[in-house]
Amino acid sequence: MTGSMGSLVASDGAKIVYEIHGDTASQRRVTLVHSLAMDHTYWRPVAARLVKAGACAVALDCRGHGASDKPAGPYLMDRFADDLLELQTHLGWEKAVIGGSSMGGSVTLAFAVRHAAHVAGLALIDTTAWYGEDAPKAWAGRANTAAEKGLAALIDFQLTRWFGEDFSKANPAVLKQCVDIFLANDVPAYVATCHMLGAFDLRAALPSLKTPTRILVGEEDYATPPAMAQALHAGIAGSHYTLLPKARHLTPLERPDDVAAEILAVLNSIHG
């Protein structure tokens, strides 16, 4: 399902591109933030299901990704969060449910901490508030590989993490789309984003989050494993935790029914 494309110019001059799905007059509003090195198309299967349930969903290309501008680094998570606020302001949305996957979930957390008044609820999918003690080194290693050998050198590593073997064999078109989008990324922007994620740590802020929150993770997610999702659940009072059997890291593509159901559960807890 494709929606209507739009763009805005952020306060620092960067163009941010987005895709709207559904009726913008709907009060059931969702903002969706993609995984590292993906783009707004990542959310189309989930958005189609949200629209069927009467929601309006907007999915952006984060700065450094897709058709959005790719300014020079360093990149800051607060700037990514501010881009979300400026997108919602551009749309005339005071509040929305924010759904983020992997990197997008980290951006979602940063937005919720920095702009709490503009969050109606959260859907945190295959993500974390902290990538671990070795995160700066691990993310720097990935960035260095991209810079020195190109993004193609990371494909084998990515394929084992993105999806389970059964899904990959049964859905070659989805796999090819992810590979094509990944390889089309701007290397300096990818490098800057990796370093941003390596420095990310919002563990101390989790108790401040008070909106309805659903946390979802694939049982076989090696990138942000269930232990990281459980830490989110422990840190956010009243949150709901779901483990998806046999799923890996990109569950919005691998299990869109389940992901949409979690986002709709947040919407339903607010709007009934």
Per-residue pLDDT, 108 = 98
How far, in Å, CA of 272 to CA of 254, rounded? 28
* DSSP classification of residue 254: H
Sequence-separated (6 or more) residues with CB below 8 Å from residue 184 = none
Q: Please say if the pLDDT value at position 82 is more than 70.
A: yes
Whether the link from the prior residue into 252 is cis, omega within 30° of 0, is no
Per-residue pLDDT, 1 = 62
Q: Provide the domain limits for residue 198.
A: 4-271
Other C-beta atoms lying within 10 Å of the C-beta of residue 89: 12
Per-residue pLDDT, 165 = 87
- With 0-12 / 13-18 / 19 or more C-beta atoms within 10 angstroms meaning exposed / middle / buried, residue 134 is exposed
Question: Considering its fold, how many domains does the chain have in total?
Answer: 1
Q: How far is CA 177 from CA 16, 57, 60, 90, 174, in A?
A: 22, 21, 17, 29, 5
pLDDT in tens, 99-141: 999 999 999 999 999 999 999 999 999 999 999 999 999 999 9
- What's the start-to-end Cα distance of the chain, in Å? 26
Q: Where are the alpha helices (DSSP H) in the chain?
A: 44-52, 77-91, 103-114, 135-149, 155-162, 165-170, 172-183, 187-198, 226-235, 251-254, 256-271
Q: Please say if the pLDDT value at position 272 is more than 70.
A: no
Beta bridge partners of 60: 18
Per-residue pLDDT, 44 = 98
Q: Please say if the pLDDT value at position 91 is more than 80.
A: yes
Residue 226's region, left for phi above 0, alpha for psi from -120 to 50, else beta, is: alpha
SS3 200: coil
Q: Please say if the pLDDT value at position 269 is more than 80.
A: yes
Beta bridge partners of 9: 15
Per-residue pLDDT, 40 = 98
pLDDT in tens, 173-230: 999 999 999 999 999 999 999 999 999 999 999 999 999 999 999 999 999 999 999 9
Per-residue pLDDT, 52 = 97
Whichever domain contains 62, its CATH number is 3.40.50.1820
Tell me how far the alpha carbon of residue 247 is from its chain's centroid.
Answer: 17
